[in-house]
Structure 1
Amino acid sequence: MKKIISYFENLTITTNQLLFFTCCYIALVLNLPFLSKASTAITALDNYNVLFLISLPIFLLSLSVVFQGIFSFRWLTKPLLITTVIISSLIFYGTITYGIVFDYGMVQNTLETDSAEALSYVNLHASLFFLIFGVLPSFIIYKVKLTYKPFFRELLTRLKIITFSFAVVLLIASVFYSNYAAVGRNNKDLLGYVTPYKMADASYKFVRNHYFYPPMKFQVLDTAPTIVRDSSRKHVTVMVLGETARAQSFSLNGYTKPTNQYTETQGVISFSNMSSCGTATAVSVPCMFSRLNKDNYSKRKSTAQQNAVDLIHLAGADILWISNNNGSCKGVCTRVKTLQVDTDKSNPLCDGEYCFDEALLAPLKKKLNSLTNENTLIVLHMIGSHGPTYFKRYPSSKSVFTPDCQRSDIQNCSQEQLINTYDNTIAYTDLVLSKVINQLSELDKKDNIESSLLYISDHGESLGESGVYLHGLPYAFAPEEQTHVPMIFWADPIQNDFNTKCLSDLSKAPISHDNVFDTLLSIMSVKSTAYDIENDPFIDCKSEHAIARTTTSQKLDMEIID
């Protein structure tokens, strides 16, 4: 080792040589996922051009030299190249291990991730990978000695290299333009794997959109929503916001393993054809509560207008948002009362960083025992099935399926272990939902309070299908495992707003997060100009008197407030 270190310490090269060798490493090693996927797409063509295939790594290398050569000059050379290698190695690990694409959405997810969640990805496998592909090459770059020519002479040499590389790019583009265009048009996901330039582009756009665009004026969708009920009883709805649960793993939806053994006997209705707005919490949570839909959603727009929670609160309902997801309501609960579950180790359900979702039950019970408003909405935000540390989402005593995967580098577990571990998180979620329903049922028996429960997950999860793990792929080519999510509804027998037999008959109809806004208003009997009857999947099963109470003009009036 000392000889190797000594060799690089005594090695003297020019900045242009270091630039070229580093770009070779970035383009030909750290971009292996891109080169592999692009090569597969090319060779899958009926009559592919071999020269076109050969041009691909040359094209990528030349582009790397152009981009890096513009900024990595003289004393900036080492810091910028080391930074690029470090970032690229992390992207390389995420892509090759989990199939992650570092696009705009993933940049947003990364920047909004808390330290505890980020540390869940740290393990021996990740550390060794980063040491070999990130730290070691960076150490070599740091140790080599650079010789500098006079400034203008070195600048001229650098311009020659950049010009030559750019000429190669133009030559390849002109000769194989139709080939690149065809492959790119039919494989739009490929650009997401170009390391680290796709992430650099996405990071620039994220920073621009969030820190340099002027704030939008706040839009009030309805200034005077109201709650109209005929019943003299108090009403409470608990919305359980799930995390990383995929519909395919629910036995209520036909899954062969008994993951819903608790709720299946409680008269719940599972809507088995539900799709998400996004493939990550940062998009799906604010989107499902927003009047916007998947096609026109943007965080900037959604945070600048009332959401469903705001309207229900303005209508007079008491709202409490209880989070076991590190306070991550993504802006939805900004204007209502919130409660974060304390992760202190003194709670046997917590380990100092995370709590099992049963920790939500105590604050829920406390709230249900002190209802003062005629109408109450309680949102329980779960940690659910958040990976990759699935084994930390359920107590060992609640492990139903074995053997499971007791590690965070899930790609090194067998498929059986991984599936069992994930299924244990779903079974545990089902247990928590069952206990919530039991608490609500007690309200009917003791206090004659009508209640309902709505459970919806934010997005799904990939568990190694086609080599993809976790979630967050761009929606356009995300697998069904990441977009097909569960939705469960329960209502106690004393409520008369909905015909549950009718809802059960409609449970296989296609719906999405786009319907959540109006579904929530409907369940809470909110009369509002923001309500869209055409977008309410429950409307066909709502009693006639309930429809008459809450339906208003479908025209959406908006007031803009500075």
Structure 2
Amino acid sequence: MCRFAPRLRAHYLPLIGASFLVSAFNFTFWERFVAAVGGWEWHKLPLLAATFIMLTLVFTAALSLVNFPRTIKPVLIVLVVSAAGASYFINQYGIQIDKAMIQNVIETDLREARELLSWKMLLTISLLGILPSVLLARTTLEFAPLKRHLALGGGTAAASVLIAAAILILFFKSYAPAVREHRELRFLLTPSNVIQAINGYARQKWAKPLVVAPLGTDAVKGPTWNGQLRRSVTIIVLGETARAMNFSLNGYARLTNPLLTGRPGLINFSNVSSCGTSTAVSLPCVFSALGREHYSDTKAQGQEGLLDVLRHAGFGVLWRDNNSGCKGVCARVEYEDLSQPEVGNAFCNAEECYDERLLENLPEIIRNAKKDLVIVLHQKGSHGPAYWKRYPAAHGKFGPVCETNDLEKCSRESIIAAYDNTILYTDLLLSKTIDLLEKTAKSEDVDTAMIYFSDHGESLGESNMYLHGAPYIIAPEEQTHVPFMLWFSERFSQRFRVDTKCVAARSEQKFTHDNVFHSVLGLLDVSTAVYNPGLDLFHACSRDG
């Protein structure tokens, strides 16, 4: 039986491999690059051809440095398979690959990862990644004697760099504005984007401090707590992937907020921006005191956050999760994982649980608590691409809906319909949360409040982008404009001297996730040196201030 085993002189492999990488995995890059330099025109062909040659030569030079018997095949196989996966997601969903995206991949749980699987993905990776890798593995490489091989490799690398540099200088006038105005290009060029992203993520993780610095240990309850016998309960609903523009409260044409519209006591903020475009960034950022400008994963992991400050002040703090965890934010407070399906639970199916489960047993928890409470409910929300799985079928008002994670098979209208149903279901959850707090305020004689905001938004086909996670510097508004709303019981606003009319008058002003940390402390009258009244959206609306 004859086995297919081609032979190749090893010093040709870097050029062949580089040509394949540049041509096979960079459809979106070339599409964006062509647009960046002015579109398809005959006089642009020399620039485009030169760019292809330049990138191929740069990759050739890099591969020449690892072109040795025990290294070149493993390196190329890893690059080809990872490039196949990265290019699929770039082409399919319009995402860019950076360290935050790598963090998302690593920290996503198995159930979320399964939703991204499709036959198209498997076929793409098989044809463009696995098949070429098998061919390479079976190829017999013929290496020249060591000295000659080193000379050929060094000469190839040097010549490649020199010619690439000459091309860069020759066309620099065209490259400079394109790269400066289209910074997303570096996140689209595969596999260099994957290498840079993994390197950035690895450096970030290795730099993580071993000791978490305390924060706000001086926190105490302020004057409004003096002589109070009534407890307070504040529920923070942390939304997932909800974008503000699809809330009818913010002017969206489709009625996605029928229950919250006109709700007494509800204050909706229409101009709020997120800290990041992914849960891995936004969630720890919004609960930290750092703010977006100073945020890094290393800094956030290295110091306590809002929940810790509240705990220092004497609050009981509970995190209830129907998502993939709290990214370290709830590490030092009570935690309940409600995301695992439970047989017989009305809010679960075989795969996952719906967000209404977050409200289960809350009245009993509040009744049995001896402390003032801050409870965080972390939604599954509008997490995609399987939007149709985020809500019970009975709550699917809009349609027809896309019922596949291969969004290319669906019309944009059906994708948006499925997404809007998730917002409709969030409307139900928030309305039920307020109902629970209203009832609890009367039956348990406690003062209650709700704060809702989403971690980030979502692209639904605008500019051919889907999902989220775009680098913030180039992220579209769809991924950064998030919903934010408040509700207070009457006794709560009286007790904490919040002028709700004043707060409502500020509802169209621009705020960001940076305001959350300080606003929660200000709302609950927590006195601490880490509190900044300038970032407290309630500070200007205090009846005694």
User: Which TM-score tier does this pair reach, normalised by the shorter chain?
Assistant: over 0.9
RMSD: 2.1
Inter-partner Cα distance in structure 2 for 1:308 and 1:104? 25
**Of 310, 333, 338, the match for 1:336:** 333
* Farther-moved stretch of structure 1 (272-281 vs 146-155): 146-155
Deviation at 1:435, TM superposition (A): 0.9
Q: 1:329 to 1:48 in 2, by over 3 A?
A: farther
Aligned-pair CA distance for 1:46 = 11
Residue 164 of structure 1 and its aligned partner are, at CA, apart by 2.0
SS in 2 for 1:59: helix
Matched, 1:440 2:434: no
Distance 2:355 2:499 in 1: 30
Amino acid at match of 1:64: F
| Structure 2 counterpart of 1:178, one-letter code | K
Deviates more, 1:214-223 or 1:353-362: 214-223
Query: How many residues are paired up?
Result: 538
Per-residue CA shift, 1:389-444, capped at 9, x if unaligned? Answer: 11110011111111111111123211111000000001001111111111111112
Does the 8 A contact of 2:216 with 2:312 survive in 1?
no
The alignment status of 1:270 with 2:268, answered yes or no, reads yes
C-alpha separation between the residues in 2 aligned to 1:223 and 1:269? 31
Structure 2 distance, partners of 1:227, 1:303, is 28
| 2:293 counterpart of 1:292 | no
Counterpart selection for 1:143 from 138, 143, 150: 138
CA drift of 1:35 comes to 1.9
Residues in 2 aligned to 1:318 and 1:126: alpha-carbon distance in whole angstroms: 45
Q: CA deviation at 1:130?
A: 1.6
Which position in structure 1 is the counterpart of 2:488? 491
Aligned pairs for 1:193-272 (under 5 A) are 193-212=188-207, 215=210, 218-230=213-225, 231-267=228-264, 268-272=266-270
Aligned to 1:424: 421
> Are 1:460 and 2:466 an aligned pair?
no
Cα separation, 1, equivalents of 2:517 and 2:207:
30
Q: 1:84 aligns with which of 66, 79, 97?
A: 79
Distance 1:120 1:128 in 2: 16
Query: Do the aligned residues in 2 keep the contact of 1:321 with 1:337 (CA within 8 Å)?
Result: yes
Q: Does residue 387 in structure 1 map to residue 394 in structure 2?
A: no
1:367 maps to which residue?
A: 365
Mean Cα deviation higher: 86-95 or 75-84: 75-84
- Amino acid aligned to 2:128: F
> Which amino acid counterpart does residue 482 of structure 1 have in structure 2?
Q
Equivalent position amino acid for 1:226 in 2:
K
Which of residues 322, 325, 328 is equivalent to 1:324? 322
Q: How big is the shift at 1:368?
A: 2.1
Give the letter aligned to residue 518 of structure 1: H
Structure 1 residue 265, shift from structure 2 partner: 3.9
Q: Which moved more, 1:39-48 or 1:387-396?
A: 39-48
- Distance in 2 separating the partners of 1:212 and 1:283: 16
Q: After TM superposition, give the deviation of residue 531 of structure 1 in Å.
A: 1.2
Residue 536 of structure 1: aligned partner: 536
Deviation at 1:45, TM superposition (A): 11
Residue equivalent to 2:504: 504
Aligned equivalents of 2:41, 2:409: Cα separation in 1: 36
Distance, in Å, in 2 between the alignment partners of 1:252 and 1:287 is 26
Contact 1:236-1:376 at 8 Å conserved across structures:
yes
C-alpha contact (below 8 Å) 2:277/2:471 kept by paired residues: yes
Q: Give the partner amino acid of 2:486.
A: F
State the shift of 1:69 in Å: 1.8
TM superposition shift of 1:195 = 0.7
With 23-32 and 39-48 compared, the bigger mean Cα shift is at: 39-48
8 Å Cα contact 2:267/2:504 also seen in 1: yes
* 1:350-370 deviation per Cα after TM superposition (whole angstroms, max 9, x unaligned): 245421101111142331232
Tell me the alpha carbon deviations over residues 137-176 of structure 1, each in whole angstroms, 9 at most, x when there is no partner: 2222223332233233222222222222112112112222
Deviation at 1:294, TM superposition (A): 0.8
Partner residue, 2:38: 43
Whole-Å separation in 2 of the counterparts to 1:103 and 1:138:
25
TM-score by length of 1: 0.91
Q: Aligned-pair distance for 1:44?
A: 5.2
Q: Which residue of 2 aligns with 1:404?
A: 401
Q: Answer yes or no: is the 8 Å Cα contact 2:387–2:418 preserved in 1.
A: yes
Amino acid at match of 1:506: R
Query: 13, 18, 31: which one pairs with 1:18?
Result: 13
Contact 1:248 1:255 in 2 (8 A): yes
Runs of 4+ in structure 1 deviating by more than 6 angstroms, as ranges, are 45-48
The CA distance in 1 between the partners of 2:74 and 2:468, in whole Å, is 32
How far apart are the structure 1 equivalents of 2:121 and 2:42? 40
Q: Deviations over 1:279-299 (max 9, x none)?
A: 001111111111111111111
CA contact (8 A) 2:90 2:96 kept: yes
Residue in 1 that maps onto 2:107: 112
Aligned equivalent of 1:358: 356
Structure 1: distance between partners of 2:100 and 2:17: 28
Indicate which of 304, 307, 316 corresponds to 1:306.
304
Q: Give, in whole Å, the separation in 2 of the partners of 1:440 and 1:522.
A: 21
Aligned pairs for 1:140-219 within 5 A: 140-212=135-207, 215=210, 218-219=213-214
Q: Deviations over 1:186-245 (max 9, x none)?
A: 222211111111221221122122115654672534434335435432110000000000
Equivalents in 2 of 1:415, 1:100: separation in Å?
Answer: 17
Residues in 1 aligned to 2:382 and 2:482: alpha-carbon distance in whole angstroms? 12
Distance 1:303 1:60 in 2: 38
Q: CA, structure 1 residues 206+157, in 2 after alignment: closer, same or farther (shift >3 Å)?
A: same
AA partner of residue 542 (structure 1): S
Q: Which amino acid in the other structure matches residue 352 of structure 2?
A: Y
Distance 1:304 1:132, change over 3 A: same
- Would the alpha carbon gap of residues 272 and 48 (structure 1) be closer, same or farther in structure 2, given more than 3 Å must change? farther
> Residues 321 and 10 (structure 1 numbering): CA distance in 2 closer, same or farther, change over 3 Å?
closer
Code of the aligned partner of 1:485: V
Distance 1:152 1:349 in 2: 69
Q: Partner amino acid for 2:447?
A: E
Match of 1:550 in 2: none
Change (3 A) 1:70 1:366: farther
